[in-house]
Amino acid sequence: MTGDVVNLRQFRKQKARTEKEKQAEQNRLTFGRTKTEKKLTSALNDKASKQLDQGKLDKGDQDA
């Protein structure tokens, strides 16, 4: 009925390491883009916003 003896200090350190690694992986996915990828995303966002603005109707012209 006896369990394995565990050093709590080592267990806490190992847990902290795994948490840090998970956070690092998430940061790599979020922020680890190349300059080219960032430029491409920016260009696509600009293009989409211009297309959206072109489709808007001016309400001021209809009232006159």
Q: Give pLDDT tens digits along the chain (64 positions).
A: 678 888 999 999 999 999 999 999 999 988 888 999 989 999 999 999 999 888 888 776 555 4
Q: Residue 13 and residue 21: Cα distance in Å, rounded?
A: 12
Predicted pLDDT of residue 64: 47
Predicted pLDDT of residue 4: 87
Predicted pLDDT of residue 8: 94
Q: Tell me the domain boundaries of the chain.
A: 8-52
- Please give the distance of CA 25 from its chain centroid, rounded to a whole number: 11
Q: Residue 14 and residue 26: Cα distance in Å, rounded?
A: 19
